[in-house]
Structure formats: C-alpha cells, structure tokens
C-alpha cells in the first residue's frame, strides 16, 4: 500500500507542475517573481497553504515551491539564472507526457539519483511533522531561503530600474561602461537619436579601434525583436565598429539568433546581465555613479 502524500508534497505537486507549464507557455523562461505572482493569482490555496512562517515571514506554499525547485533543478527539468527560471528541454518533454503526480515522482527520483552520484546526505522523506519536513535537509533549506531572499533583492532592484525614465536608464548604461574602463564620448539627448544612444571608445581620444555603438531600450516588460537588432547592425558603418544592445527587458529567441548571425559583432545585455555587470563593477564607481543605482551587499552562510 503506497504511503499517503504529505501536505507539503501535495503543494509541491501542483505548484511545480504549474511552474513548468507556465514556463513552457512563455517562451521557456520567466523571472521567478513573475512565476510566483502568476501562481498566486491563478491557483487556489487554502489557509494551511497560505500560512506565513513566523521565523522567516514567508508564505508556506511559496517556501515549498522554492524548496522543490531545487529538486527539479537536480533532476534536470529546471534551471535558474540570476532570478530567471528556465525550463529545460527535458522539462518540456516531461510536462507533455506526465501528470502532476508523475512529474513529482520523477523529480524526486531525479534528485535522489543526483544525490547518490554526488554522495550527499540522503534527504529523508519519512512521515514527519509538516513544519519539520522542509528542514530535514539543512543544505537544501538554506538554498531555498537564499533563493527567496535573492528573488526579493532582484525584485527590488528591478522595481528601482523600472521607475527610471528612458534617459535615466541611458545614464545608468553610460556609468556602467565608464566603470568597465570604456571612454564614453557622447550620450544622446532627448529626441530622435538615429539608433545610436551612446558612442564609446577604448581610449580617451577615440583613436583606437573599435568604435562602440550602443543602443539602449528601456522596455522592462517587452522582448527585443530581431528587427531591432537589424537596425542596430545598420548603424555600424565602419568595419571595426562593435554594437552593444542594452535593454531593461529581455531578448527574444529570434533576436538572439540575429545577433549571432550578424556579420558585425553585436553584444546583447538584458536586465539580468546588466545587473550582474553593475554588481561586478560597482566597487570601481565613484559615489555619484553609485548613487544612480545604490547597492548594499549581504553575505549568507554558504555550503561546502
């Protein structure tokens, strides 16, 4: 006789399935916060599932979801990159061929297989108190909490950038390029810019190649199209010109293909990569530049 699933397992079953299906229906990836917001609005949760943990302040079903996304990642169905959740090809296949319960079982088996291969402590899924169940594996619990904190931090940074106007976001890009060691010769003023927002060089006088042509789009809720990449390519007049496209949103798959196939080198920087670069070069900025997007580092206990 099979063991009756625990309440946490039931939560994981419906939220993980809904997550994979949502990602599959949205070009394969979404920000973690957007996933959680969508599930909150479209799934039904009872009072037990909506309970808020006193220790962390997090909602039970959200904590369960974050906890089991780690299993889904180890099973090979999900990836995470700087706050973005990405369904893998294996994840797309499993969502087409299996029920929510079968997917939960496959994820559990996949995690155990990874766990055995990496000689980690076994995660005991025996009959436990519901609040204890998610604390069985300390390492995974830590990762789950950090995952939620990072999602909150990413959301705060994203909201701050979204509230910038297009010219303020353009200034952020200019400040980042300078911190990276480039010399910004011009930043477009208000009005038509002919597809060129920033021109930068690798030396102060602009005598060395390449000339860097930067297109900046403040479109946080949109995906950049392949046509927009082609337009940037058309502005690269010199053979040595390099293009950089920076967006506060994301790039569609066709736009990424277009940049790879372009005769000219076109570098793509989406929101996540922009924040990653800002964090990396933040220590090299002066206080005026830092104030454009101020950050505060926080350190957590790591894992071996």
Give the end of a domain, one of 162, 187, 208: 162
For residue 283, being part of any structural domain is answered with: yes
For residue 217, being part of any structural domain is answered with: yes
Q: Quick one: which H or E segment has residue 109?
A: helix 100-117
For residue 211, being part of any structural domain is answered with: yes
For residue 157, being part of any structural domain is answered with: yes
Helix axes 32-42, 138-162, angle to 10 degrees: 100
Q: Say whether both 17 and 146 belong to one domain.
A: yes
What pLDDT is attached to residue 148?
72
Q: Say whether both 14 and 136 belong to one domain.
A: yes
Q: Say whether both 80 and 113 belong to one domain.
A: yes
Query: Does residue 79 contact residue 73 with C-beta atoms inside 8 Å?
Result: yes
Q: Say whether both 135 and 242 belong to one domain.
A: no
Expressed as residue numbers, the domain containing 137 is 7-162
User: Tens digit of pLDDT per residue, the chain (304 long)?
Assistant: 456 888 889 999 999 999 999 999 998 988 888 899 999 999 999 999 999 988 778 899 998 999 899 899 999 999 988 778 999 999 999 999 999 999 999 999 998 888 887 764 444 433 344 554 554 455 666 666 777 777 778 888 989 999 999 999 999 999 999 999 999 999 988 766 566 899 999 999 988 999 999 999 999 988 999 999 999 999 998 889 999 999 999 999 899 999 999 989 999 999 989 999 999 999 999 999 999 999 988 777 766 5
Q: Say whether both 154 and 218 belong to one domain.
A: no
For residue 299, being part of any structural domain is answered with: no
In DSSP terms, which residues pair with 200 in a beta bridge?
A: 184, 212
In DSSP terms, which residues pair with 100 in a beta bridge?
A: none
Reported as half-sphere exposure (CB side, CA atoms, 13 A), residue 194 has a value of 9
* Pairing label, strands 250-251, 223-224: parallel
Spatial separation of the C-alpha atoms in residues 264 and 246, rounded to whole Å: 16
- Number of domains into which the chain is organized: 2
DSSP states along 60-102: HHHHHHHHHHHHHHHTTSEEEETTEEEE-HHHHHHHHH--HHH
Q: Say whether both 13 and 115 belong to one domain.
A: yes
Q: Say whether both 233 and 124 belong to one domain.
A: no
Measure the CA angle with vertex 257, ends 255 and 260; round to 5°: 115
Q: Say whether both 134 and 192 belong to one domain.
A: no
For residue 295, being part of any structural domain is answered with: no
Q: Say whether both 154 and 205 belong to one domain.
A: no
Q: How many other CB atoms are there within 10 angstroms of residue 87's CB atom?
A: 26
For residue 134, being part of any structural domain is answered with: yes
What pLDDT is attached to residue 84?
86
Give the end of a domain, one of 162, 189, 213: 162
Q: Where are the beta strands (DSSP E) in the chain?
A: 29-31, 78-81, 84-87, 183-187, 198-201, 212-217, 223-224, 242-247, 250-251, 266-269
Give the end of a domain, one of 135, 162, 189: 162
Phi, psi of 213 (to 5 degrees): -100, 125
Quickly tell me which residue has 């995690």 as its tokens.
Answer: 111
Give the CATH number of the domain where residue 209 resides.
3.40.1350.10
For residue 72, being part of any structural domain is answered with: yes
Quickly tell me which residue has 């277009």 as its tokens.
Answer: 258
What pLDDT is attached to residue 56?
73
Spatial separation of the C-alpha atoms in residues 124 and 134, rounded to whole Å: 10
What pLDDT is attached to residue 137?
59
What pLDDT is attached to residue 139?
63
CA distances from 14 to 8, 20, 218 (A): 10, 10, 35
Spatial separation of the C-alpha atoms in residues 253 and 160, rounded to whole Å: 26
Q: Say whether both 140 and 195 belong to one domain.
A: no
Q: Say whether both 95 and 198 belong to one domain.
A: no
First-to-last alpha carbon distance for the chain, in angstroms, is 38
Q: Say whether both 120 and 97 belong to one domain.
A: yes
């Amino acid at each position: 006789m099979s063991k009756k699933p625990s309440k946490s397992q039931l939560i994981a079953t419906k939220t993980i399935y809904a997550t994979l299906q949502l990602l599959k229906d949205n070009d394969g990836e979404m920000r973690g916060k957007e996933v959680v917001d969508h599930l909150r609005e479209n799934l039904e949760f009872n009072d037990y599932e909506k309970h808020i943990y006193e220790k962390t302040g997090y909602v039970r079903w959200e904590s369960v979801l974050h906890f089991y996304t780690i299993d889904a990642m180890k099973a090979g169905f999900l990836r995470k990159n700087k706050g973005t959740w990405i369904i893998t090809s294996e994840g797309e296949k499993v969502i087409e061929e299996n029920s929510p319960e079968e997917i939960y079982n496959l994820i559990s088996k996949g995690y155990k297989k990874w766990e055995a291969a990496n000689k980690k402590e076994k995660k005991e899924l025996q009959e436990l108190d519901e609040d204890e169940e998610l604390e069985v594996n300390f390492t995974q619990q830590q990762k789950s909490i950090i995952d939620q904190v990072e999602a909150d931090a990413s959301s705060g940074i994203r909201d701050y950038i979204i509230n910038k106007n297009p010219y303020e976001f353009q200034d952020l890009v200019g400040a980042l390029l300078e911190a990276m060691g480039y010399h910004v010769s011009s930043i477009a003023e208000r009005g038509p810019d002919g597809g060129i927002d920033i021109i930068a060089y690798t030396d102060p006088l602009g005598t060395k190649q390449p000339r860097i042509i930067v297109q900046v789009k403040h479109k946080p809720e949109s995906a950049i199209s392949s046509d927009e990449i082609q337009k940037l390519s058309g502005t690269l007049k010199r053979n040595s010109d390099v293009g950089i496209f920076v967006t506060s949103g994301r790039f569609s798959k066709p736009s990424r293909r277009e940049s790879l196939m372009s005769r000219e080198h076109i570098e793509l920087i989406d929101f996540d990569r922009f924040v990653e670069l800002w964090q990396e070069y933040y220590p090299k900025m002066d206080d005026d530049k830092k104030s454009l997007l101020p950050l505060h580092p926080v350190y957590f206990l790591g894992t071996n």
